[in-house]
Structure 1
Amino acid sequence: MKKNLFLKIAILSVYFVQMGAGAVNPAVASIAKSFPGIPLTTILLVTTLSIVASVPATIISGRIAGSKVKYKTLLVLGMILFTLGGIGPYFTQSSFTMILAFRIVFGIGVGIVIPLGAALIIAFFDGDERNELMGLGGVASNVGGILFQLLGGFAASVSWGYSFLVHGLGIITLVLILFLPEPEKTQEKQSKAKIPGFVYFYAIGIFVVMVLIFPLLVTMSSVIETGGMGNAADSGMVLTMYTIGGMLAGFVFAKLFDILKQNTITVTLFLIAIAMACIAFGNTIVFMYVGATLGGIGIGVITPTIFILLGNKLPSAQVAIASGLIMGFMNVGGFLSAYVYEMLAIVFGQVGNLKFPFYFATGCFAIGAIGILVIKNVKSVKKVM
């Protein structure tokens, strides 16, 4: 029993660090002030570059975990890169180039770790115990996100360099995984089987969602400070509500999915549209809190919905591979978001308008939800006819 309890804690600690990149988000505005000659889109690389660096690492890690390289080996390597790359920029604050270099190292570490939590749960547990741990994994991820962002926000209010030191929490996970047992080796034939097309369909869908919603994470501090609604600490609290929203979604997801069933994604898209509208049209910190919370709930529902749909169709040996692919597309969407919106701002004549991404996303999420409803109704009518 004690061994089983420790195993669960160690695996949940892997989920705990998956949202560690958020520690730096509240410091973006302060970093921009320290490097006034650098464009904002380049400053945003402090958050987005680690995301894009994690993409190939995530996909490769998912493919080789358990079959070619031991889970523990990958986890230890990932957490060493996570910790060293995370705290490194604190010691190189005068060099923006070195900050970005460390963020790449950090991103590779995150990428290695991301697909391994679900893979370990599937490797060690079955039935209700597995489902329970999957839910707890989402909670642990959001708790980690809350702690990283909250501490990052308070640290940035003192000095933006301190926000990088928050990644030192990765040492806790590193110590725990040193004592993890190694699951049985994945069968090569199953792990090398061709990934079905529907996996890529879901991957593209989550990619679009992340492109649209990512400004909530990386430009919120600028929106709040420019609008005179608060400082870096306030930004950290608002972003914390995003992860709290995701955690709340994790607690109620099973019941919510059971009620909404095939309408889960449609309803959630409407919810995210409302979240983005709160930020777009709101001019007080209260609207920012509401928008961030609803946005977190939305992502907290859509993501597990996709994994449930995948889990119902894929053999367990392909879960790590599919997870790596889905998370990879999510991260690419986050990375490209700033550049997509920069191009759209030029097209629509909204350059310099920090709230433009939120106006645009409100419309897109609403149109997407309505579009799904129309398609479903058309299909229902055809079946009746």
Structure 2
Amino acid sequence: MSVSLLVVSAGAIAGNIPAIVQAYPTVNETLIELLTTIPSLFIILTILISPKVAQRIGYKQTVQVGIGIVCLAGLLPVVTTSFTSLFLSRILFGVGVGLFNPLLYTIAAGLYSGGHLATVIGLQSAFEGIGGMLITFLVGQLLVTGWRYSFMVYGLAIPILFLFGLFVPDIRPTTSDEKEAKTGPTIDRTLIYYLILLFLAVTVYMSIAVKVTGLLYDKAIGDATDGSNLLAFIGFGAMTAGMVFGKTVRIFKEWTIPVSFLGMSIALLLLARAPNLWIASLAVILCGFSFRTFVPYVFNEVNQKSQQATAQTALLLIFFNIGTAATPLTIAYLQHLFPFLHQSGLFYGGAVLMLVLGGGVVVVGKVGFMMRMSDSRKR
């Protein structure tokens, strides 16, 4: 759980950008803005090799190396004055997160199973949200002492590394794990189904982060500060979903995905029609809760049922990060094709898409059930 606090912490330094621009007036501003997003690219690239590294040096050791890199890379800007060193530190930060991110699910699956595993994966999701909010808050508090010192927040990785090494047992790769590392993941229909759903859901979810402040201005119900507060409320909804994920899955079972998508659809519709900040706040909390119910459900299913859980989890994380990074471009392209997807129209469109996806999941589930029943009768 403590390691999960670091998973989404790369973007926490976004508030530093104006100060860094002033500190390096000769550096292109776009290059400085990349400091917040360049880790995501290297997270994607490193996730691909993480399972193979783990096969060579061990799962626990790979996670420890990743945490150590995050700690060193995170703290480097405190002592360096070179922008080149600062930029390289952000690249290394992404490498560190990419090393341990997929292995957290593998270690959880090696230590727990059934309902206990579902609960642990839900808590991992909750702690990712908590980590994002906590580290962003601490960066803001430290920023008053100077932007370099705000990077000291990544010193949080030191006690996390100590606690992980002291309390988390090592797990050994199975024969299937070793084969998986050599051959790579099997891309079956179920995995493709999850990848498509994940990419689309992430894009819709991230559209709130990208466009919600503009929506508040368009409706004349809030400003940039209110938009920032709404993003915090999304995190609150996501954290709550993770805390109760085990119970949610026990209640809804195979209906968890369509119920999650219905919740996102209702949330986006509320946001599009919100007459005030109270309704907008309720909408984003519901959206965060629904989305962070869907995401751990997919990861839980893969780790519970797949014989290639580590590699398939890595693919899911890659699509998650690609969807996140590509959201502004995806939205711009869709708005070019469909001009009505501006302002409130974007959220109406997202609501319709999630409703259609939820209905599609129900249809696919019923068809699969009927096929299984037909096969059992033939036998």
Q: TM-score range by the shorter chain?
A: 0.7 to 0.9
Question: CA 1:72–1:22 in 2, change beyond 3 Å: closer, same or farther?
Answer: same
Alpha-carbon distance, 1:239 to partner: 2.4
Q: In the alignment, which residue of structure 1 is the partner of 2:50? A: 61
Q: What secondary structure, in the 3-state scheme, does the structure 2 residue paired with 1:114 have?
A: helix
Which AA in structure 2 matches 1:260? Answer: F
Q: In the alignment, which residue of structure 2 is the partner of 1:229? A: 222
Separation in structure 1 between the aligned mates of residue 285 and residue 213 of structure 2, nearest angstrom: 15
Q: What secondary structure, in the 3-state scheme, does the structure 2 residue paired with 1:216 have?
A: helix
Please, which moves more after superposition, 287-296 or 263-272?
Answer: 287-296
Match of 1:335 among 325, 333, 344: 325
Which AA in structure 1 matches 2:352? Answer: G
Alpha-carbon distance, 1:301 to partner: 0.9
Q: Show the 5 A alignment for 1:1-385.
A: 12-24=1-13, 27=15, 45-65=34-54, 67-87=55-75, 101-125=88-112, 130-152=117-139, 164-179=151-166, 183-193=170-180, 194-197=185-188, 198-220=190-212, 229-232=222-225, 234-282=226-274, 284-315=276-307, 318-349=308-339, 357-373=346-362
Q: % of aligned pairs identical?
A: 24
Separation in structure 2 between the aligned mates of residue 221 and residue 106 of structure 1, nearest angstrom: 29
Kept in 1: contact 2:60–2:170 (CA 8 A): no
What TM-score results when the alignment is normalised by the length of structure 2?
A: 0.77
Separation in structure 2 between the aligned mates of residue 287 and residue 99 of structure 1, nearest angstrom: 41
Which AA in structure 2 matches 1:122? Answer: A
Which AA in structure 2 matches 1:292? Answer: V
Residues 273-305 of structure 1: per-residue CA shift (max 9 Å, x gap): 222334434364334422321121112211122
Question: CA 1:312–1:119 in 2, change beyond 3 Å: closer, same or farther?
Answer: closer
- Unmatched runs of 5 consecutive residues or more in structure 1: 1-11
Q: What secondary structure, in the 3-state scheme, does the structure 1 residue paired with 2:244 have?
A: helix
Kept in 2: contact 1:149–1:240 (CA 8 A): no
Paired residues, number? 366
Which AA in structure 1 matches 2:359? Answer: I
Question: CA 1:201–1:93 in 2, change beyond 3 Å: closer, same or farther?
Answer: farther
Alpha-carbon distance, 1:176 to partner: 2.4
Q: In the alignment, which residue of structure 2 is the partner of 1:9? A: none
Separation in structure 1 between the aligned mates of residue 234 and residue 144 of structure 2, nearest angstrom: 19
Kept in 2: contact 1:154–1:236 (CA 8 A): no
Question: CA 1:258–1:356 in 2, change beyond 3 Å: closer, same or farther?
Answer: same
Q: What secondary structure, in the 3-state scheme, does the structure 2 residue paired with 1:214 have?
A: helix
Kept in 2: contact 1:269–1:365 (CA 8 A): yes
Q: Cα RMSD over matched residues?
A: 4.1
Which AA in structure 1 matches 2:186? Answer: I
Kept in 2: contact 1:55–1:111 (CA 8 A): yes
Question: CA 1:166–1:359 in 2, change beyond 3 Å: closer, same or farther?
Answer: farther
Kept in 2: contact 1:23–1:167 (CA 8 A): no
Please, which moves more after superposition, 320-329 or 248-257?
Answer: 248-257
Question: CA 1:133–1:375 in 2, change beyond 3 Å: closer, same or farther?
Answer: closer
Separation in structure 2 between the aligned mates of residue 219 and residue 29 of structure 1, nearest angstrom: 20
Which AA in structure 2 matches 1:55? Answer: I
Kept in 2: contact 1:23–1:163 (CA 8 A): no
Question: CA 1:218–1:179 in 2, change beyond 3 Å: closer, same or farther?
Answer: farther
Separation in structure 1 between the aligned mates of residue 346 and residue 154 of structure 2, nearest angstrom: 29
Q: In the alignment, which residue of structure 1 is the partner of 2:377? A: none
Alpha-carbon distance, 1:85 to partner: 3.6
Residues 259-280 of structure 1: per-residue CA shift (max 9 Å, x gap): 3233221121121122233443
Higher relative contact order (CA 8 A, sep 6+): 1
What TM-score results when the alignment is normalised by the length of structure 1?
A: 0.76
Separation in structure 1 between the aligned mates of residue 149 and residue 56 of structure 2, nearest angstrom: 38
Alpha-carbon distance, 1:172 to partner: 2.5
Separation in structure 2 between the aligned mates of residue 92 and residue 370 of structure 1, nearest angstrom: 53
